[in-house]
Structure 1
Amino acid sequence: MATRYLNLLDYSEITGSAPIALRSHGWRAKCLQRLVRLDLPVPRTIALSFNAVRAIAAGQVPDLGGLVARFEPGQLLSVRPSAENPDWGGPGAILNIGMNDDLHARISESHGEDVATALYLAFVQSYAQHVARLDPDMFPVSEPCLPALQAALYDYEKEMEEPFPQDPGKQLAEVLRSMARAWEGTSARLLRQAKGAPADAGLGLIVQAMAGGFGATESGAGVIQFIDPVTGVPQITGRYAERGQDGDAISNNPQAMYLTRDPRGPSLEDRHPDAFAELVRHGGICREKLREEMQIEFTVVNGKLTVLDALKVRRASRAAVRVAVSLAEDGIITRKEALMRVTPRALSELLHRQVDPRGARAVVARGMAASPGAATGRLVFTSTAAQASASRGEKCILVRRETSPEDIRGMHAAAGVLTERGGMTSHAAVIGRGLGVPCIVGATGLRIDLKARQLHTGRAVLNEGDLITIDGTVGEVLLGEAEFLEPATDQWFNTLLEWADALRDIDVRANADTPADARIARDFKAKGIGLCRTEHMFFEDDRLTVMREMIFAGSAQDRAEALTRLLPMQRSDFIELFSIMHGLPVCIRLFDPPLHEFLPHTREGLKQLADALDRPLSEVTRRAEDLAEFNPMLGLRGVRLGVTVPEIYEMQARAIFEATIETGRRGEKVVPEIMIPLVSAMREVELVKARIDAVAAAVRVEKGQPFEYRLGVMVETPRAALRAAEIAQHADFMSFGTNDLTQMTYGLSRDDAGRFMSYYVQAGVFPEDPFHVLDTDGVGELLLIAAERGRKTRKGLTLSICGEHGGSPESIAFCRDAGFDYVSCSPFRVPVARLAAAQLTITDDDSGEKMPDLR
């Protein structure tokens, strides 16, 4: 080994040779090796491999005489963990190993008794608690003095029935054994597995010479980094503590000073300008050679700089994006590497306001983080109250036991939504993500008292009108108003996604029900609309009244007359959608929900409806009872309405075709895609297709204008997937509604499964919540069957998914491998899907593996 590398050795190299590697020695050992090779001033360090630490945990502690002999006589040592991934944690560092009575006497002579006592007392306290595992209350942190040291040594001897160890070799052996066994303990193993570590994850240990100056005024320790960890803006941050021995010295030290010159007080740059300049140079070297923004832990003794450690700066999402793009633009990493360094979840956070991680958090409740972002507002318990609050210009948080289609207007008006019940694909979660409204569902311990207008969280009782903040990114409800970070769709964000678009090989569309949704989709560069749920257009006040008149119509002719009043409204909706999308494909799903969803559910609501329609209350009540169903999700909805009440689909088809012609006259050619929902039989498609074709022919004749359209089906039932060969004869495309398909395949209610799904996942019944992560085994097999059978019948059949799964990386991977043409997701998940698709392409290129393409 070259002389300059002698500062970092593997323990086995004392008798042989063993390379230091991430998977055998951990991240800290590998990083220190790189720092040594970059000629940074690293103190003498010895790395113990995973295997060596496992042997120590099993009781095979080696003779450490040779290890200790590698350091100067009387040299104090530290031991630190080195797992493969720093996020997996590990036992805390132990400092000042080697401190004993003799060294205390020598340091007292050279640096004074106060310095020696402080070092010795800190070591005894740390050793007693973390190595001997004695009660921490017996060794409280106190002002260092000789009586406190003597008391600590006495208490140790009394509890352990032997004096405090004086042999540095024995001290080191016990520290290593304690840290090795702590890593192998059950609680530690479960904790790191929760952080993503494999069950057999190894731990390396680093034995390093202490580089502190024994507490002299001219010595100190600190940490420095060269970016703001929240924004990623280049700037020097960190602190420096005089008389400190390592970076931990600044955490609880109010006297820690700034690094750069600052009017608020002294700085490292003032006290040690040469050492500061050297640190800045080292930071630039680390950035270029380690290809990362690093945080450096250091000490300064009489102006001499020593680098103890370095690790990647922990950063918020916006900083992660900016750093990755900056490194690529500077030629330090490739664009592909930059794309792989940003998680799709990080992009999702940048699209919304976020609670500033630097602020305080008064958490009063927790639930599922169903829709990212954060908002502050006053508590309201009804949609009516939310709309009233919005009309006054006041922001509010809508709290419901669970939401229903009747709450959509209230959700539009609210700044955020909180529900007691529901899961990741409940009504509140799906609509929240679609609207880009922060949403928390299934909040633990939440209880709504509508009579008292109170919210009981288990930690607090909140009244209607109280100010709260919901953080839909992490699923926390906070008391009062929090500090926020605004969305960060800046040049770094857009540059990263441009690079992603250049690589991905599957299109990403958006689920957009309104012009506002469509504009967001265009802003996020969606390749069209993959699902427009037209029923959401009918919940506006003026349209809802007409819908209710249609429901109460006594004949097909009366229904058609009521729907005629809705026709111009639908037509204007589609014209606006087509105009916004500028010729990109727009897939419009025909009316889907059961009609009872458009009727009030309370007696007071029915009475108001009777007044509005000028009908007897008994008649209105009877009609509502006639439409009620035991299981509405499996009742008269979707294509079944189109077959039994064909006037609805005929009106919608006419609105689509007339909007197509009008948009074409404005210079934008549109080929609308019309999707039939909830299909399960070929005959259903034949019946609806015949009527739509007839409407198309009539419109062409009336307007004297040709146009094209594509007709397809939404596959949401297992039978439709299994009979795809027949259905594809009459369909140009098949789009899989994986929300309902999962529900029907499992026989699970997506709105109710959240109550017990966590238990199922913990018990290993399901690997993940199938409403959150696509079940590629069960539901996925149905998708593959339908894709294969459909394309055998119709070779050019377009395939896609348009359920909530469409925005998840796992689902996108499945669709790419299966040869699907696109995925469609909520507008705010489009950037996430674009990045995830690019990352999958990069991974395939690196591995050279991909499933056969069904095309």
Structure 2
Amino acid sequence: MPKYVYDFTEGNKDLKDLLGGKGANLAEMTNLGLPVPPGFTITTEACRHFLTEGRLPEGLEEETSRHLSALEAKMGRRLGQADDPLLVSVRSGAKFSMPGMMETVLNIGLNDESVHGLAKQSSGNERFAWDSYRRLIQMFGKTVQGIDGELFDDALEELKAGRDDLDLEAADFQRLVETYKGIVRDQTGEDFPADPHRQMHMAVEAVFRSWNAPRAILYRRQERIPADLGTAVNVCSMVFGNCGMDSGTGVAFTRDPGTGHQGVYGDYLQNAQGEDVVAGIRNTLSLQELERIDKPVYDELMQIMATLENHYRDLCDIEFTVERGKLWMLQTRVGKRTAGAAFRIAVQLAEQGLISMDEAVTRVTGDQLAQLMFPRFAGDADAKKIAKGMNASPGAAVGKAVFSSERAVELADRGENVILVRRETNPDDLAGMIAAQGVLTSRGGKTSHAAVVARGMGKTCVCGAEELEVSTQDRSFTVPGGVVVNEGDVISIDGSTGAVYLGEVPVVDSQVVEYFEGSGDHEDELVRAVDRVMRHADGMRRLEVRANADNAEDAARARRFGAQGIGLCRTEHMFLGDRRQLVEELILAETDAERARALEALRPLQQGDFVELFREMKGLPVTIRLLDPPLHEFLPDCTDLSVKVALAGDRADEKDLKLLAAVKRLHEQNPMLGLRGVRLGLVIPGLFAMQVRAIAEAARAVEGTRAEIMIPLVAAVQELENVRDEARAILAETGVEALVGTMIEVPRAALTAGQIAEAAEFFSFGTNDLTQMTWGFSRDDVEAAFFSRYLELGVFGVSPFESLDRDGVGRLVRLAAEEGRRTRPDIKLGICGEHGGDPDSIHFCHETGLDYVSCSPFRIPVARLEAGRAALVCADSDTR
């Protein structure tokens, strides 16, 4: 029989797969001798069984009961004991932190009898006991019984009638308990369950079910957390922060998760329990205030924070409760942080000797670096500052104010930028937070739900802007001075300072982009951290990083950003604008002489473009793809041209008539699978020869040029051999050396790569087309049509056009790489699809043994960092 339940004394921090992050870390703190309330963890294996089979695994209830009995013996009280009750919390805890996405139920064990025992246990504190009881019914009703939480919230607000929570007395909470029980009865047709053991078992099942709650699914998709991990359940003896003003609850970080700066950081709320801090029901006190309120507790907390940071060698996020002057640790985990904080903290820890620079590089990500490259506000001199809150998650966000998650999603789907404005957010707001450019709340602190989730997603967030009077019903907020902001009005929020502005504030490049451009302030702490990480990553990576660039301007930026060459120059982009006329003449040519004249007119223009490109790259490799798209893309639209000719009648221009005939002749039902790529070079004599000659002449003009000629859409080695022979003849005639290779973008090419390598000196995987052809998707059509549904159903974890499909497309890439090297051991292998800038895809390219990745200029720093991380991760796994 598998073991499904572990006491906190039995686990450790390395058992996150089995015990979840929360359970593993509670066990680790217990092992360190820190003050953790006793309890036990039900494993993720039990959850997976429950989700798969629809029932708890055999033997789990008996095993849970045995551990509960052991806990009761240790505490000297029984669960729900009438005169002296043991109460427990039931909390979720997946391997990866999912703040607020799954369920928690506190105070399990209370009923109409044990509430009096709890009051007696707390020296007659009736207010505390009845407050705890109403919290249980409220959380249990919403979480376990599926009752609309607003019914409980509305009842509480009606009872308060403008009073603060702390103004409510025992009699108020006693009346609220009866109101809440009535809500449960009305909504479920049953009384609130009084049996403590039934409460606990129902709560455990509810936590398991919450793994597949819509918000949890959405969060996992956003954070790319596997859907099959499941969650553990932690059953912990209750400690109470709502016993009076000598009690409280708090959240602390060992460093500032917003900036990475060292120092005391966190929120504390007196006479409060559990979720009150992160829920933002009252604005919190700073952690420094705890020193004034209860210095012995504060000093102990500081000592524990130092112990945990040194033990985990990282920023730690801590939840704690103070019960009548006694400190209890309820949770710790490696804390979420902003992108800037991630870089600063990684370098700080390396400089302190807690970690190596190798580990520092693996602790930051390309996605975080990309966030740091987003624009920032140019300044606020001309903007109207209307409020100031807490700088919870940095960045500059501009958009229309919206007051509901649904509205945020609706407008974002239309392509509009929005700022989600709420009194406080809750897990149900996740979709709106994802859709919004930034989040603004009038309540809550830097450890509120809005702040924690926004930081994890890299979203700009300002919290606790108390001047804001937010009315979700009226879809507006007001600030002192009579300013009213209605839904649709543009506002700007600065997550670095907490400032809120009316209207649009101009933005400028980030200091990190300026650093990559060579003009940044190297004394800036963030820039220094990024520079230290990037230099180390560059020293460790095996993969080269090239750029997809079609003109000299993009090539110059790419080189400043650290590109080691051009992996894809798309020559079709050189035939646009005024040059389309020349392409039309080529297509309309009826004789060899006319075709030769059209090609000769195009050649010097191509040659000039290549000269500029070669000069910018100054001796670095430049891979030029010969013409790839269907010819119809260079011609007028068939419908527009038909209408023009029809309206002209007998007076129709002869050229228009010839164009219309050519358009109809070249029309294809599926042009992306028609006359394009290498097929053009074989069907239109002289086309590829003109391009190759332009490349060769440009290479002769620029000393040190390393040209690589890429033949697109090859599916058979015979296609490549024909074009290669023609290209080789021209190169020999001009005395230019250049590699000739092909783009692997057709599944047949991948499957016959061994043959193709006989004629190709390099492969460049065009994963955009390879993905389309392997899946049978037309990217232009399907992403908007049904990809969102596929993501909802779990067919994709992420779009295969965003991150390489390792099982399908990736298998073709691996096969082609292996067969290509078997035929030609020195063959160069690269990737030039958009996946070349995707972090996970870059790791795949390293593992597969490719030589380089190529991506857009702006993504080059991301690719450099991820290539270094891939080398370090692989080396670490090899040593293990």
8 Å Cα contact 1:153-1:163 kept in structure 2: no
Q: Distance in 2 between matches of 1:721 and 1:95?
A: 60
Alignment of 1:527 with 2:556, yes or no, is: no
Question: Once the 2 structures are TM-superposed, how far is the Cα of residue 122 of structure 1 from its aligned partner?
Answer: 3.7
Question: Once the 2 structures are TM-superposed, how far is the Cα of residue 33 of structure 1 from its aligned partner?
Answer: 4.0
What secondary structure is seen at the aligned counterpart in 2 of 1:730?
coil
Alignment of 1:673 with 2:708, yes or no, is: yes
What secondary structure is seen at the aligned counterpart in 1 of 2:75?
coil
Correspondence for 1:177? 201
* Structure 2 residues not aligned, in runs of 5+: 48-55, 78-83, 161-167, 377-393, 419-436, 438-487, 493-501, 514-526
Residues 497-646 of structure 1 aligned to structure 2 (within 5 Å): 497-539=534-576, 541-601=577-637, 616-646=655-685
Alignment of 1:215 with 2:244, yes or no, is: yes
Q: 2:20 aligns with which of 4, 22, 26?
A: 26
8 Å Cα contact 1:550-1:562 kept in structure 2: yes
Moved more, 758-767 or 550-559: 758-767
Alignment of 1:845 with 2:867, yes or no, is: no
CA shift in 2, pair 1:203/1:524, >3 Å? same
CA shift in 2, pair 1:680/1:184, >3 Å? closer
Alignment of 1:712 with 2:712, yes or no, is: no
Q: 2:91 aligns with which of 53, 59, 81?
A: 81
Question: Once the 2 structures are TM-superposed, how far is the Cα of residue 214 of structure 1 from its aligned partner?
Answer: 1.5
Question: Once the 2 structures are TM-superposed, how far is the Cα of residue 338 of structure 1 from its aligned partner?
Answer: 3.0
Q: Which amino acid aligns with 1:319?
A: A
What secondary structure is seen at the aligned counterpart in 1 of 2:97?
helix
Q: Distance in 2 between matches of 1:729 and 1:165?
A: 75
Alignment of 1:94 with 2:133, yes or no, is: no
What secondary structure is seen at the aligned counterpart in 2 of 1:185?
helix
Question: Once the 2 structures are TM-superposed, how far is the Cα of residue 724 of structure 1 from its aligned partner?
Answer: 4.3
Deviations 1:592-647 (A, max 9, x none): 22222122216667999999x98643333333333333332233322232233344
Q: 1:688 aligns with which of 718, 723, 730?
A: 723
Q: Distance in 2 between matches of 1:369 and 1:133?
A: 29
Residues 345-356 of structure 1 aligned to structure 2 (within 5 Å): 345-353=367-375, 356=395
Q: Distance in 1 between matches of 2:628 and 2:706?
A: 22
Correspondence for 1:404? none
Residues 451-470 of structure 1 aligned to structure 2 (within 5 Å): none
Question: Once the 2 structures are TM-superposed, how far is the Cα of residue 673 of structure 1 from its aligned partner?
Answer: 0.6
Q: Distance in 2 between matches of 1:766 and 1:52?
A: 25
Q: Which amino acid aligns with 1:256?
A: T
8 Å Cα contact 1:75-1:209 kept in structure 2: no
CA shift in 2, pair 1:468/1:593, >3 Å? farther
Correspondence for 1:821? 851
Question: How large is the Cα RMSD of the aligned pairs?
Answer: 4.7
CA shift in 2, pair 1:185/1:125, >3 Å? closer
What secondary structure is seen at the aligned counterpart in 2 of 1:672?
strand
Deviations 1:433-468 (A, max 9, x none): xxxxxxxxxxxxxxxxxxxxxxxxxxxxxxxx9989
What secondary structure is seen at the aligned counterpart in 1 of 2:779?
coil
8 Å Cα contact 2:713-2:744 kept in structure 1: yes
8 Å Cα contact 2:641-2:656 kept in structure 1: no
Q: 1:794 aligns with which of 815, 818, 824?
A: 824
Deviations 1:709-745 (A, max 9, x none): 1112223334444554554443322223233334344
8 Å Cα contact 1:722-1:786 kept in structure 2: yes
Question: Once the 2 structures are TM-superposed, how far is the Cα of residue 92 of structure 1 from its aligned partner?
Answer: 1.1
CA shift in 2, pair 1:364/1:626, >3 Å? farther
Question: Once the 2 structures are TM-superposed, how far is the Cα of residue 514 of structure 1 from its aligned partner?
Answer: 2.0
Residues 351-500 of structure 1 aligned to structure 2 (within 5 Å): 351-353=373-375, 356=395, 362=402, 487=510, 488-489=512-513, 490-500=527-537
Residues 209-288 of structure 1 aligned to structure 2 (within 5 Å): 209-212=238-241, 214-216=243-245, 218-234=246-262, 236-246=264-274, 248-249=276-277, 251-260=279-288, 267-272=289-294, 275-276=297-298, 278-288=300-310
8 Å Cα contact 1:356-1:484 kept in structure 2: no
Q: Distance in 2 between matches of 1:721 and 1:157?
A: 66
Question: Once the 2 structures are TM-superposed, how far is the Cα of residue 803 of structure 1 from its aligned partner?
Answer: 2.4
8 Å Cα contact 2:567-2:853 kept in structure 1: yes
Question: Once the 2 structures are TM-superposed, how far is the Cα of residue 94 of structure 1 from its aligned partner?
Answer: 0.2
Q: Distance in 2 between matches of 1:617 and 1:132?
A: 71
CA shift in 2, pair 1:184/1:300, >3 Å? closer
The aligned length equals 716
Correspondence for 2:38? 45
Q: Distance in 1 between matches of 2:148 and 2:841?
A: 50
Q: Which amino acid aligns with 2:103?
A: P
Correspondence for 1:401? none
Q: 2:334 aligns with which of 306, 312, 316?
A: 312
Correspondence for 1:650? 689
8 Å Cα contact 1:250-1:256 kept in structure 2: no
Q: Which amino acid aligns with 1:45?
A: P
Q: Distance in 1 between matches of 2:693 and 2:874?
A: 45
Q: Which amino acid aligns with 1:208?
A: S
Identity of aligned residues (%): 36
Correspondence for 1:289? 311
CA shift in 2, pair 1:617/1:297, >3 Å? same
What secondary structure is seen at the aligned counterpart in 1 of 2:349?
helix
CA shift in 2, pair 1:358/1:25, >3 Å? farther
Correspondence for 1:472? none
Question: Once the 2 structures are TM-superposed, how far is the Cα of residue 511 of structure 1 from its aligned partner?
Answer: 1.8
Deviations 1:369-399 (A, max 9, x none): 99xxx9969xxxxxxxxxxxxxxxxxxxxxx
What secondary structure is seen at the aligned counterpart in 2 of 1:70?
helix
Q: Which amino acid aligns with 1:583?
A: G
8 Å Cα contact 1:296-1:310 kept in structure 2: yes
8 Å Cα contact 1:268-1:276 kept in structure 2: yes
Q: Distance in 2 between matches of 1:694 and 1:681?
A: 21
What is the TM-score with the length of structure 2 in the denominator? 0.69
